[in-house]
Structure 1
Amino acid sequence: MDEIKELTKAEEQIMQELWNMRGGFVKEIIVRLPDPKPAYNTVSTIIRILETKGFVEHESFGKSHRYLPKISKEEYKKLITGKLLQNYFDNSTTSMLSFFLEEKKMNVKELDEIMQIIQRNKK
C-alpha cells in the first residue's frame, strides 16, 4: 500500500478490535463491540471497505472469512500522530508536548516517565 488513509470512526472501532484480537470473524468482532450492537451486514460492509483500503486481508474457510489486520496498530499510530503534529502543531514536537502537559494536567509520575524517555534518547 502506497499511502495509508485515515479511518472513519466506525472503521477505527472495528480495526481496534481486529488489532486486539489479532484477527477474527465478523461474528467475533460484533460480540466485542459496545451496545447497541451493529447489524452483521453493517460490520461486514465496513470490513470489506477496510479490505479495499488495504487495512485488512482475509483467509477463506469455505464461505466464511477470517479477517486479519494488514496494517499494524503501530503503523497507523505513526500516521495519525504525524498528521496531528503537522496539522495542529506546525510540526513542533515541543508545541505538541507542551499542549498535552498543560491540557492533561499530567501527574508527577507521568512527568517522571517523560523525563526518563528524554534521558534515554539523549544518548
Structure 2
Amino acid sequence: MNEIKELTKAEEQIMQELWEMNGGFVKEIIARLPDPKPAYNTVSTIIRILETKGFVDHESFGKSHRYLPKISKEEYKKIITGKLLQNYFDNSATSMLSFFLEEKKVDVKELDEIIQIIQRNKK
C-alpha cells in the first residue's frame, strides 16, 4: 500500500464504525452514528473517499455495496502514532511520555502499567 494519508474527523468516525462492525452497508453505519444523523449521501461520499484513499473496499450485492476496512485499526494506529512521534516529539518516546505526564494525560495507575510493560519488555 502506498503512503497512507491521515483521516479527517468525519472519515475517522466512519472508519471507527467500520472497524467495530468489521464492515457494513451505509444504512448500518448511519444507524450507529450519533444524532443528528448525517444524510445517506454524505456518508456514501465519505466512504467513496475512503475507498479512493485505500482504507475501504467493497463487495457488490446488486446495486448495494457492503464496505469493508482494507486497513486494520491496529495498522492505522501504528501509522498515526509513528507520525505523531516523528512530527511532534523528534522520534523520542521519552519526550512524548514526558509531555503526557506533564499535561496530566497519564494518571498514577496508568504510569504503573507503563512501568510493568517496560519491565516485561526488558527481558
TM range (shorter): over 0.9
Once the two structures are superposed, what CA deviation does each residue of 1:39-71 show, in whole Å capped at 9, x if it has no partner? 000000000110111100001111110000000
Shift in CA distance, 54/105, structure 1 to aligned 2, threshold 3 Å: closer
Q: CA RMSD in A?
A: 1.0
Alignment of 1:1-123 (within 5 A): 1-123=1-123
> What do the CA deviations read for 1:60-96 (whole angstroms, capped 9, x no partner)?
1111100000000011111110111111111110000
C-alpha distance after superposition, 1:6-25 (max 9, x if no partner) = 11111011000000110000
CA distance in 2, matches of 1:6, 1:106: 25
Structure-1-length-normalised TM-score: 0.96
User: Secondary structure of the equivalent of 1:101?
Assistant: helix
Work out the number of aligned pairs and report it. 123
Q: Take 1:14 and 1:79, find their aligned partners in 2: how far apart are those partners?
A: 18
Deviation at 1:105, TM superposition (A): 5.0
Mapped partners of 1:2, 1:96: distance in 2: 27
Offset of 1:108 from its aligned partner?
2.5
Alpha-carbon spacing, 1:13–1:105, altered in 2? closer, same or farther (3 Å)? closer
TM-score, normalised on structure 2?
0.96
> Offset at 1:106?
2.9
Structure 1 residue runs without a partner (length 5+): none
* Shift in Å, 1:30: 0.4
In structure 2, the residue corresponding to 1:68 is in which secondary structure?
Answer: strand
Which 4+ stretches in 1 moved above 2 angstroms? 104-108
Alpha-carbon distance between aligned partners in 1 of 2:3 and 2:107, rounded to the nearest angstrom: 37
